[in-house]
Structure 1
Amino acid sequence: MSTSLLIPRGIPRVQYLADGAQRVFTYPFPIFADEDLQVFLGAALQSTGYAVGGAGAGAGGAVTFAAAPAEGTVVLLRRRLPIERRSDFGESGPLPASALNGELDRLTAMLQQVAGDQELMLRYADSDLPASPLLPERGLRQGKLLAFDSAGNPTIRPPVDEEALATYLPPGAGATARPVRDKLADLASVKDFGAVGDGLVDDTLALQAALTSARAVFVPPGTYRIANTLTLGYGQTLYGVGQGSVIRGASNGFDLIHLPDGYATLSGLRLEQGKAGVRLFGRDGPCVQNSLTDLTLWEPEVGLVFDGYIDPNLPCYWNNIARVLVARPSRHGVWLTRTGAGDTPNANRFHAVRVYSLSAPMSGCGFFVEQGRFNNAFFDCEANLWPGAEACFRVGAVTDKTLIVNFYAESLGALPNLQLDAGSVETAVVNLFSAAAGPAILDRSGGQYTAVNAGYPEKNRLQRSRVTELVVEALRYDTDYVEPVQGGLVALDLRSSVYLASAYGGPVELRLPKAEDANGHAVTIKRTDASTNPLTVTETGGPGPDGRVLSLGNRYDFVTLVSNGAGWWIVAGNSQPGNAHYHDTPGLFEPDLNQQLYLVSAWNGAVEVRLPAPSAPHAVGRTVTVKKSDTGGNRVTVTQAGGGGPDSEAIALAAQGHAVTVMSNGAGWHVLGRNP
């Protein structure tokens, strides 16, 4: 069974005269796809505001308008195909009937299209005698009228009407006289196409017709009311005189202006209302190198929308926006997003763009880079927002390398001045003025940003920076306090420069990352508690500082470590001396070794000073002196845990002034000095 689309005889074009009520207009010829049908209202080619039905049907279909065209408007529906071949049949390969029929269908449709175009041309009648179809050469016909000689062949005659004969000579040396008609043709105005500009008459078709007919269109002072989207195509320009040239949407149900292609210019206009004031997206071609300057967008839902859209090959890149005010938006001021499977908007440049609520409620952000890769840059921009807004500037999850310089944020509400969502990376902020009542930088990115003179209380964050010469007036170290409730393993992430650690709740192991993952990093660890629980410093997958497990045995012990990529090395530390301790209670006394000198009185009874085991973490390397301070006859005996004492014996201090100085090497307590 054939699946071809039979092309009946006829011209693929139909016209209607609208009555102001009819919304559905049929076309009695087949089309292959919706985009094959062009829809005109008057001379204006439409791109939105209607739906096409019947594509693929042999009998044609219908166009349904969202709103009935105004009475007296000419509605033109025509099939328009690119003149191209879309199939290639291989030598001795399969030749399916569907492919062949499809190609013949399109060829037939193209021929009908050409035949229809020829019907609109001036041409000789079929019964006319042969005559020359050639025009005189350009140099001969310039400024002349086309005529026909006695044989009926084309020729030229001097112009005869006064308007064509009138000339314009600009002032200044080297100026050339030109016909006034050519001079007037330099400027296409929307009023040349019937626009009124009184704010009451619907000027939609007039503006669309102007953009259909001219590459550059001027909007004179006035208020031009539109009821449908205006499309600014490739390389086109729409410009006005500034605040005096107003384009006002009849409602917020549609976007005011679309830029679906590249190299267009929009300038010197005030745009009021609209679902979006201006939307840039790659529909008809790559949306690149468009210029938006000197615009005011008043009371849109969203001021400027940059949309990655549906096709990665038609991106929204390299657009330039300068001196734009978005006033009283109800949602976002500037929004970079993606509504389909296209690429994110990238490398767009914004300069002196201001979003101002003017006390009007809004639900979104001044600037929202929801999706944007690779260096979207914002210079000297500002957001002054309603207190209930979301954020002055928000960087979304699907972003990287966003650059924000000299941004001014202000609000009476507690919204963030700058919000960085989780997933955003490599945001760079320079000179952030934070006048909103919320946090200067609400960071949910995990520190994936760099800020200079920005934020509070940390106004500067430099990561992986090489400084040849640095002068510092006040140096502050990021400090973290570590105290596991029940002790245990703590993996140090080295986000802090100083760790104050306590083993009060139980033995604690502080584990450094691999030395190879922390090349050049310096960290200081200091013990703060006076318990006898061990506190050790180890290394992930490595031997530890100076090739060993490091113990911080006593309160106030500290160590400073540096990694050279091959190992962790001790570059500073201490065995903090303490004040002498006086003890006068009889019985067993177990010193904590936080002091180097213990004065012991046995006046009220004999005292046993029991040192900890020499292998105890807080004993290894310690030197301690025990001295009898009273004049009584009771003894002070120095022993060690587990039995015995220094040099393997219990040492008795019998008289006042008797003393012993001992040190532990981890294996035993050794006498360094003794009196007597």
Structure 2
Amino acid sequence: MTSSLSIPRGTPRVQYVADGAQRVFTYPFPIFADDDLQVFLGAALQNTGYAVAGAGASAGGSVTFAQAPENGTAVLLRRRLPIERTSGFLDSGPLPASALNGEFDRLTAGLQQVAGDQDLMLRYADTDLPASPLLPGRAIRQGKLLAFDGAGNPTVRPPVDEEALSTYVPPGTGAVSRPVRDKLSDVVSVKDFGAVGDGVVDDTVAIQAALTSAKAVHVPPGTYRITNTLTLAYGKTLSGTGQTSIIAGSSDAFDLVHIPDGYATLSGLRLENGKAGVRLFGRDGPCVQNTLSDLTLWDPQVGLLFDGYTDPNLPCYWNNVARVLVARPSRHGVWLTRSGAGDTPNANRFHCVRVYSLSAPISGSGFFVEEGRYNNAFVDCEANLSTMAQACFHVGAVTDKTLILNFYAESLGGVPNVLLEAGSVETSILNLFSASAGPAIQDRSGGRYTALNAGYPEKNRLEHSRVTQLTVEALRFDTEYVEPLQGGRVDLDLTSSVYLMSAYGGPVEARLPNAGAANGHSVTIKKTDASANVLTITETGGPGPDGRSVALGNRYDLVTLVSNGANWWIVAANRHPGNARFVEASGLFEPDLNQSLYLVSAWSGAVEVRLPSPGAAHAVGRTVTVKKSDTSGNRVTVTAQGGGGPDSEAIALTGQGHAVTAMSNGAGWHILGRNP
């Protein structure tokens, strides 16, 4: 160490950022010895890997690293002296200047070191008002955060979860943390843009600014007064908390909400007043796939207005409306129309939409499809109107394929429940509840509609409807299997078209209802078991099929029956019981072929059984058997109209039991069997 150094003004520390190549770094302050210099790489104090030069020089020196520090590494060089005094001066002894200079050098260097440390410390400003520097006691500050009270003195506060302040993690498997700022920006509140919601301040600009700035905008509870139309643009969402989120128009001179494009959502709001509560139209783009849900519209001129507008390329199609109440409209509750040369509103869906006038005057209709060419559907909707309305549901002239399902119509006056204008076509009405005193369906279309359970007095139920032309691609029959455990009687209620019946447990009587109560009904009955028990078909209060009971004795025997209101008739069977007729007469007998077996007695004299011409309509394809049943010697001769007989000859049956079986092929009678 030199006897005296010049200690320049400044802080005894210097810092660099390594570039990966530099090995030599200078320090511009004096040190007394190499050990007085601390070397840091980043936050790590180094003890080896470098060499110090320049100790004892007033201008400082340098540090040379064996290897260049990595690029970007902070390199800190600082002087660090122990604050101590190890030398002393004797009384009356020598007092050399070099010794005094050395002591002063160390004192100065130590003071610079303390001043440098203070520069890195938090401290009160020189101009600050007096404040306590004392920390709260250990027991008080343990586990707490340092804070300052109202006077600026140190105090403590409960600990804060800093991560919770900066991030948000939703509950559930797979959730990831997000910055709270991002989470809060998911949905913007109209109050973020200055809306007040007190029903007095004009919130129009604030709400529209929110809609312009954000994709999804929330309307907190409150009454938000507007003086001009709000525009809900493409893909935007405006939602509230239900009846407590109110947007109130200052008058009915303007529409409250315009949706001039597609894919927007409006929900959970109460809209009051307005020329139209909500108007959908294709001004900025195709007005398609918009959603209106859970809305209440109070005191509008028109509740919901679907407008085809002016451009056919920007249609009002495929919009969805659900759970909407339009209360006290002065003109129409729901109106589909066209204000220009655009296309008509088509294929829009309305579900659970209610128009309720609450006895207030209404000049139009609950629902008015003035123009709507194709497939607008109204399901589970309702109109309850005062007596001056035009109709609960009004279908205009420029409409096609309007669907009305489960509609509830009510009025205290003679308001038509459904009014169909001339020009409307293919309106379908299913399950109309007509609670207005007016006509259920006032038809001016010339019958160009279909209805089911929807008219008056005829409800157009399927069982009372007449189908003049029906094309069926897949005809299905309701089938029922019946097997009484011990046989017995089964009363058929005809709720099924086909009865598969088993008599395995014992003989079964299948009793049909009286033909008079089953006009037009067709039923097929088939025996399914292989037992010897008989399935007998009878009729309640009537003679039975074809005027008698029918027995199905074998497995797979079946019969198809039709009632004409007077009798049950057999129209098809696979094992029809054979009909037989006993004839006792002499002379000529001409069978009508209604039976397949004729037992002929010639006891009183010879009998000629003359078959009809083989070409007769009732003979072609028929098979008939003629058998002599008596023991007399009188003959039974079988002939045919026009001469001859079976196989072109008269057949004589001379003894009891002699028989002949013949069939007509349309040209002649041919013998199939003969005895003898």
- Shorter-chain-normalised TM-score: which range? 0.3 to 0.5
With normalisation by structure 2, the TM-score equals 0.45
Looking at CA atoms only, which structure, 1 or 2, has the larger radius of gyration?
A: 2
With normalisation by structure 1, the TM-score equals 0.45
